[in-house]
Amino acid sequence: MQKELDQSLEDYRESLGESGPPKGLLVVVNHEEDPSDTLYVFLPDEDRVNMKTIRSYVDQMQQEQCTKAILILRDAGLTPAAKSAIAELLSNKITMECFYENELMVNITEHKLVPEHIVLTAEEKQELLDTYRLKESQLPKMQSSDPVARYYGMKRGQVVRINRPSETAGRYITYRIVV
């Protein structure tokens, strides 16, 4: 297994042979706690991803009844039509998060200046609101475009617990809601 993880992209493609995947690479991941919760990771071959490619990915996801995907893009990114298609996917209850290759060079959650973030479940969120007698609007906000929120795939209304080291208190805990 470790040998496969250490493989370069060229070695991986060579191991697939001539009949490799037609539209770039595809990785399918299942959630540890809920194996029916599937995530597709698409790595398209083309530099600039177009509408046709997005449609083929969506068709593939719908066949497998998958609602979450990550699209890893090269520098050229998406065509305007592809961007609008991804925005429209939310109405079909499909989430496709786009990352550029250079954004994934460093795992931001492991950087020493980024505090620990823990995404709360719906029950934990309700317990937090009840314990402190808060409304959602009273919690500090976090943009859905925040790098850490994107990393964890957070949606509007989800709450994250942030544990920061503090010189005076030892540890400082804060909560933020994604808007």
| Domain boundary pick from 85, 104, 123 | 104
Both structure tokens of 35 = 């194996």
Residues sharing a CB contact under 8 Å with residue 147, sequence separation 6 or more, in sequence order? 103, 108
Q: Please tell me what DSSP assigns to residue 60.
A: H
Please report, for the domain that includes residue 73, its CATH number: 3.40.1340.10
149 or 7, which is more confident?
A: 149
Q: CB of 88 within 8 A of CB of 96?
A: no
Residue pLDDT, tens place only, 114-125: 999 999 999 999
Distance of CA 47 to the CA centre of its chain: 21
Predicted TM-score of the model (pTM): 0.77
Question: Could you say which of 49, 80, 104 is where a domain stops?
Answer: 104
Name the domain boundary from 104, 127, 144.
104
pLDDT for 11 beyond 90: no
- The predicted model gives 142-146 an average pLDDT of 95
- The CA-atom distances, in angstroms, between 93 and each of 13, 30, 49, 65, 66 are 32, 18, 21, 11, 10
One domain for residues 86 and 16? yes
Residues 12 and 34 in one domain: yes
pLDDT in tens, 45-99: 888 999 999 999 999 999 988 999 999 998 888 999 999 999 888 777 889 999 9
87 and 135 within one domain? no
CA distance 9 to 25: 10
If asked whether residues 135 and 91 sit together in one domain, one would say no
Domains of the chain: total: 2
DSSP single-letter state for residue 63: H
Confidence bin at 21 (pLDDT 50/70/90) = very low
Q: What is the CA radius of gyration of the chain?
A: 19
